Amino acid sequence: MVILVDENTKVIVQGITGRQGSFHTKLMLEYGTKIVAGVTPGKGGIDVHGVPVYNTVEEAVAEHPDANTSIIFVPARFAADAVYEAVDAGLKLVVVITEHIPVHDTMRFVNYARIKGARVVGPNGPGVISPGKSKVGIMPGNAFRPGKIGIVSRSGTLTYEISSALSRAGYGQSTAVGVGGDPIVGTNPIEVVKMFEKDEDTDLIVLIGEIGGDIEERVAAMVAKGEITKPMVGYIVGRTAPPGKRMGHAGAIISMGTGRAEDKVRALEEAGVPVAETPSQLVSLVKKMLEGR
């Protein structure tokens, strides 16, 4: 079944004529993603890598009514309007790759999407991939292979590194979701973990966390209460970060006595979730949990 994206995902690329939009459209097409249209205001009528371009999402959906997903590459100052446009056109999944979006803009469009029954993934994340089915994002497709491990991550780079290590060891992924590194994101790890819990194609969950916030502790509480029953392995980035130090992501900052790596590790381990110190150790933990070795 997998989650969020599959072989039935039909994508509209907003910002398709820009450098990043064009580049990643080509890679997504090569992976097998079904991209039905692109949107750039004022560029309607051309095509990019064989994909027709429209001036608005509304026009694109009118010509391609089977479209159900958008991926956004537009600059930060236009990103909120792009999300509103996608949601108003009836698209149910909006993947926002753009970084440096003001937090108040994100808060508004995330809330608007929820009210309208749409889901946002991101911003400032790598997107979503269900290996062998669809890639709606910027992750390198060769790092992933079809399998039964669901990955949810606050770190884009580690999503690729850990998926690649698992793949080399023979453990494929059902879906990998990079939720984004901003303080406010459209879909958080708790929501993704709940989706994996219900997904019949996911046998084990890998949670890649970071310093900052309390998401990982809240996941641990769910496991402790029996709300999450599937086996889980954790990995926390930023164990050596001093208080007040930001580690790459706007959301990865320790402040006011919360968000420390040791607290996240402790909470997960007390809930019965083993936490790896390195990607290679994570592979060993996955092997032990799946094969009982």
For residue 254, the model assigns a pLDDT of: 46
Q: Could you tell me if residue 58 is inside a domain?
A: yes
Give the structural domain span for 19.
10-121
Same domain for 222 and 104: no
Same domain for 143 and 116: no
When divided into structural domains, the chain yields a total of 2
DSSP 284: H
Q: Could you tell me if residue 94 is inside a domain?
A: yes
The residue among 78, 93, 121 that closes a domain is 121
Same domain for 193 and 256: yes
Strand partners, 105: none
Strand partners, 69: 11, 93
List, as one string, the DSSP characters of 61-119: HHH-TT--EEEE-S-HHHHHHHHHHHHHTT-SEEEE------HHHHHHHHHHHHHTT-E
> And the tokens for 243?
């208080």
- CB neighbour list of residue 172: distance below 8 Å, 6 or more residues apart: 131, 144, 145, 146, 147, 148, 149, 166
The residue among 121, 150, 182 that closes a domain is 121
> And the tokens for 289?
């949990």
Q: Could you tell me if residue 1 is inside a domain?
A: no
> And the tokens for 16?
């398709």
Q: What is the mean pLDDT of each run of 10 residues along the chain (293 residues)?
A: 96 98 98 98 98 98 98 98 98 98 98 98 97 98 98 92 96 97 95 98 97 93 98 85 52 55 95 95 95 69
For residue 156, the model assigns a pLDDT of: 86
Q: What is the CATH number of the domain that holds 260?
A: 3.40.50.261
Cα–Cα distance between 103 and 101 in angstroms, integer? 6
Same domain for 284 and 166: yes
For residue 245, the model assigns a pLDDT of: 52
Whether 49 is a known active-site residue: answer no
Contact 217, 257 (CB under 8 A): no
Q: Helices then strands (H, E): number in the chain?
A: 9, 14
- How much is the pTM? 0.93
Marked catalytic residue, from 49, 64, 100, 249 = 249
Same domain for 203 and 83: no
The residue among 89, 121, 153 that closes a domain is 121
For residue 239, the model assigns a pLDDT of: 60
Nearest of 79, 164, 178 to residue 127 by alpha carbon = 178
For residue 257, the model assigns a pLDDT of: 47
Same domain for 224 and 93: no
